Structures are given as structure tokens and as C-alpha cells.
Amino acid sequence: MTLFSIAAPTAQQSSIPGFGWKVLAIALYAAVLLAIGYIASRRMTNIRDYFVSNKKLGFIHVAFSARATGESAWLLLGLTGMGYALGAHAFWVVLGEMLGVGGAWLFMSRRFKRLTDRYDSVTVPDYLESRFRDPGHWLRIIAAGALLVFVPIYAGAQVYAAGGAFFDFLGINHYVGATIGFVIVLVYITQGGFTAVVWSDVFQGALMFLGLVVLPFVALAHAGGLMAITESLRAIDPNLLTLHGPDQTTADGATLSGWNYLSIFSVIGLAGIGIGFWGSPQIFVRFISLKSEKEIVPGAATALTWTLLADSGAVLIGIFGRALFNTEIGADKEAVLPYMAETLLHALFTGLFIAMVLSAIMSTIDSLLIIASSAGVRDYWQKIRHPEMSDQQLVSLSRKVTVVLSLIAFGVGMGILAYDKDNPIFWIVIFGWSGIAATFCPVMILSLYWSKLTALGAKWAMVAGFLAVPILKFAAPPLMEAVGFADGPTILGALDVLPPAFAIGFTTAIVVSMFDKQGQSRLEGVAEEIRDAGRRL
């Protein structure tokens, strides 16, 4: 199959109900994004425009952009699939998201905004180097290196998801679908930079919110009310209606029901996903771009409202889909949203849901690529190698680096597709998300609240968090089995890697800083800066 199969659909595609309406919706969606990229490119004059919109954004732009970026394909395909598989137990993710988003906006953003304005920071590594008085650039190099490793994985997972979305909705080959989504993102992001990313996120975030809020009501009407949904779920598995979730199976094959140690670890793991909002650069760069700290309170209200309604809607879509289409969907739980949109809606609105899924995917890819590009160009090439470069040269180089990183992410996504099309997107995305979060979040939290955190402590914490994610994911389970801890892999699987990796990074930062007397001697004025950042207006 070639790219031209979209213009001239195959017989199989032509048999898909409303194929033309769906393609039209995607074409209109792509046209809006490309128009945004063009208009944004006309407003970009320097490197600050390309990476932070010259710090002139209002709360609506930042709140919608942060939420669209923070969610990605895992919200529409992964979380709906979790709701389908786990039932009400998946609402622990919603709680974790609320705590994560609320903590970032209410307890971290004001301090971070004040300090980044004080230091005139354009990127998160800019802030870290200024906050820790690190003259050797190693902190900047570690931060940039972590982004350049995990961002292609995270963005590659989104490319993979784009292929799946085109296949589920339109019957288009996975590889062709992934290529189409990739090309659209590449064109508008390289032209319009961060401004294009944020404007497109507002448009895409609104689409995502609308679809996730409306579809549960459509499903309820189709089912005949909440009572019918409840009775259907109880007949399938009564545990789908409980917060402790389905029965758990231990390593020796025993079945544990109700609340038990595995269900508790599962709750911690699901809620722990929200930790990633407490310092991940792709979220916090949006706080840098705010025009004023007065935008924080309305921004927090907007972001929390979006999170509560959209994330709850995603879980309910999965739960209602399980009740209505249990036998039709079967084991492919992440197909629940595409199947429901296809079954319950007119083809025109199904096309809008295709655009909504692509919105979740692309709003994350574009933000990640801009962050990674800033790490390579601003944090390494300009700050360390060529501080004399002009803004025009930096913008040109940034576009080229963005293209290269995009191609790497595209290759990663295609590799995932070639390796295993059936691997759940949720856990692939969470691995990349966990890597970024475990590297940055412990350091970001401590940097805003503990004046004795040193550059050495931050460096070791970032390295420890960075390494902990792949070690806990791949090396720890077989090691646990080898030493006779049979339930270890099961517990770690329920807990997932982010909470323990975060704890490792956090502890490392404190311990190393406590012993780093030389580093503490360089922190003159930091305590006063943190106190000033925490003062109320």
C-alpha cells in the first residue's frame, strides 16, 4: 500500500462506513494545524520566540497546552483501555493526575516562574545551571542528554500510536498512518516553533476535552441508563465496580481478592503516574512562557477542571465500553474508544474522534521535539560551544535539529511497530514518561524548596533517576527471581517503575548534598532567592 491509497481508497477501505467523511475530517484537521504553523512562523523573530514564545503567553494558552502535552495517546487509547480492563480501579489514575497537576500549578509554578524570570532562563537546564551556580556545564549536559535519550522513545511511542489510530479508524496500514501523522507534525513544528506548538495545543486540547466529555453521555443513552451499565458490569465481573479492582494472581498462582498487598501496590503505581507533572521539562517550560505570575491562579483552575472532566471521561468510556461491547472488543482493550466512536456516532462525528486521537498524539510529539531541540541547540551548542551565535543562526539550527530528532523519533516508532503492534501503548508511553520524570522531578522539587541542594547532589540524583528506570524495568525482575523473591516481579509490575525510581533520585539528591560541603559553599544567596520566590504577593 502506498501513500496514494488515501486519495484512492482500496476496496477494503471503501467498505468502511463513512470512509469519505472520516478522511475529510482528518484533512480539515491537518489544514488547521498547517495554517497555525504558517501564522506562528510569521510572528517568530528570535530564539526566545522559537522556544518560549518570548514569555508572553496567557493562562488559557498555557493551561490547555500543558494538559494536551501532558496526556498524549495514553489518555485516549491507554486510559480508556485501562477503564475497559480494570473498571473503577482505573480512577486511581485520575486521582494521581489531579494531585500531579494541582501540585505543579499550585505549589511549584509560582516559585519556578519567579526564579526563571530572575535568572532570565529560557529552558529548564538554563534554570538548573543558574539555581545551582554550576560553572562547569555538567548539570546542563546531563539534563540535555537525558532529554535527548528519553524524548525520542516517548515521541516514538506517539508515532506508533498514530499508526494504530489510522488502522483502527480507517483500515489504513499502520506504517502509512504513522508516516502521515509524522509529516503533519514535522511541517508545522519546524516552521512555527513553540508558538505553533502552543496554539495547536489549544485547538487540540479543546477537541480532546469535548470528545472525552461527550462520548460517555452518548454511551449512557445507548445503554438505557446507568443501571443497565451497572448490571452488565456486575454480570461480567463484579470487581469492575470496585476501587480495589480485579483479582490479583501471585507468582505461585494463588488468587487474591479484595484489598491485598498487590492491589495496594497497584493503587500506588497508578496514582504515582501524577509524579511526572512535578518537574518534567515539557510541562515546566510552559510556566517559563507565562507573561505574568498573575496568570497562575486562573491557569490552575483551568488545568484542574480539564483534568478532572477529561480523565474521568476517558475512564468512563472504557467502563461503559466494557459493559456495552465486551464480546465484540475482546482482548484488544485499547480499541474501545475507536470501536465506540465507530458504532455509536455518525461518520462525520467519528471523523472528529479520529482528529481527537491524533490531537492527543501530535500535541505531545510537537512539545517533546521542541524540548529536545532546545536541549541540543540552546543548552549545548549555544551555551557550551558557540555563545557568539546570532538568533537567526540559532533559529535555523533549531529547525534542522528538530527535523533530525523527529526522524529519530519516527524511526523509534516504526521500530516499535515492526517489533510488536500488539504491545499496549499505555506502558510504552509510561516508560518514556517515567524516564523523564525520574530524571528531573526530584531535583525540580528540591530546587524550589530546599536551599542546600547542591549541583553535585542534583547531578547524581538525575543520573540515579535516569538509570533507575531501565534497571527497574528490565534488570530488576529477573534478578529478584534469581535470588528467590518470586513475588518481586509481580509487585514491581503492579507498582511500576516511576514511584521507586523517583524515590531513588530524591534520596540520592539529599544524601549527596548533605555531604557536599564544597558545593554548599557556592550557594550564596540561594536561600534568600527561594524565600523571595515563596513569598505571597
Segment 215-225 mean pLDDT: 95
CA distance 500 to 512: 18
CA distance 456 to 470: 22
Segment 33-44 mean pLDDT: 71
CA distance 206 to 203: 5
- The pLDDT-based confidence of 105 (bands split at 50, 70, 90) is very high
Q: Which residue, among 435, 447, 445, 292, has the nearest Cα to 368 in the 3D structure?
A: 435
pLDDT of 493: 78
Residue 57, strand partner residues = 290
pLDDT of 82: 93
Exposed e or buried b for every residue in 270-300, given b needs 16+ CB within 10 A?
A: bbbbbbbbbbbbbbbbbbbbbeebebbeebb
pLDDT of 451: 95
- Which three cell numbers mark 119? 535568572
pLDDT of 177: 78
Percent of the chain at pLDDT above 70?
87
Residue 245 has pLDDT above 60, yes or no: yes
Residue 256, strand partner residues = 248
CA distance 73 to 377: 27
Segment 185-212 mean pLDDT: 77
Segment 423-430 mean pLDDT: 62
pLDDT of 9: 46
- Which three cell numbers mark 313? 471521561
Contacts of 531 (CB under 8 A, 6+ apart): none
Lowest-pLDDT range of 299-308, 369-378, 522-531: 369-378
pLDDT of 195: 74
Residue 449 has pLDDT above 80, yes or no: yes
For 14-534, CATH number out of 1.20.1730.10, 3.40.50.970, 1.10.3720.10, 3.40.50.2300 equals 1.20.1730.10
Q: What tens digit of pLDDT does each residue of 109-147 get?
A: 999 999 999 998 888 888 998 999 987 778 888 887 887
CA distance 447 to 291: 22
535 φ, ψ (degrees, to nearest 5): -70, 145
Residue 249, strand partner residues = 255
Segment 33-62 mean pLDDT: 75
Segment 233-251 mean pLDDT: 91
The DSSP code sequence of 123-159 is SHHHHHHHHTT-TTSHHHHHHHHHHHHHHHHHHHHHH
Residue 338 has pLDDT above 60, yes or no: yes
Q: Provide the terminal-to-terminal Cα distance of the chain, rounded to the nearest Å.
A: 61
- Which three cell numbers mark 217? 453521555
Residue 4 has pLDDT above 60, yes or no: no
Domain ranges for the chain: 14-534
| Cα 141–chain centre separation | 23
pLDDT of 410: 77
Burial of 385 (0-12, 13-18, 19+ CB in 10 A): exposed
pLDDT of 1: 29
Residue 45 has pLDDT above 70, yes or no: no
CA distance 54 to 368: 19
Residue 178 has pLDDT above 80, yes or no: no
256 φ, ψ (degrees, to nearest 5): -110, 125
Percent of the chain at pLDDT above 90?
40
> Are the C-beta atoms of residues 296 and 113 closer than 8 Å to each other?
yes
* Count helices and strands in the chain by DSSP H and E runs: 25, 2
CA distance 253 to 9: 49
Segment 214-231 mean pLDDT: 95
Q: What tens digit of pLDDT does each residue of 482-494 get?
A: 888 877 888 887 7
Residue 50 has pLDDT above 90, yes or no: no
Residue 255, strand partner residues = 249
pLDDT of 483: 86
Q: For Cα atoms 47, 40, 126, give the angle at the middle one, nearest 5 degrees.
A: 25
Residue 391 has pLDDT above 70, yes or no: no
CA distance 18 to 16: 6
| Higher-scoring residue by pLDDT: 489, 242 | 242
Residue 290, strand partner residues = 57
Residue 55 has pLDDT above 50, yes or no: yes
CA distance 453 to 118: 19
Q: What tens digit of pLDDT does each residue of 393-420 get?
A: 777 777 777 778 778 877 877 776 666 6
> What is the pTM for the complete model shown?
0.86
| Higher-scoring residue by pLDDT: 10, 124 | 124
> Are the C-beta atoms of residues 153 and 67 closer than 8 Å to each other?
no
The DSSP code sequence of 496-535 is -SHHHHHHHHHHHHHHHHHH-HHHHHT-TTHHHHHHHHHS
> Are the C-beta atoms of residues 229 and 241 closer than 8 Å to each other?
no
CA distance 366 to 203: 14
Q: Which residue, among 326, 313, 9, has the nearest Cα to 339 in the 3D structure?
A: 326
pLDDT of 420: 60
pLDDT of 165: 75
CA distance 279 to 290: 16
Q: What amino acid is encoded at 364 in this protein? A: T
pLDDT of 12: 45
Q: What tens digit of pLDDT does each residue of 456-513 get?
A: 999 999 999 999 998 998 898 889 888 888 778 888 877 788 999 999 999 999 999 9
| Higher-scoring residue by pLDDT: 121, 104 | 104
pLDDT of 175: 80
Specify the DSSP element, H or E, that contains 66: helix 59-71
pLDDT of 164: 74
Lowest-pLDDT range of 14-23, 285-294, 526-535: 14-23
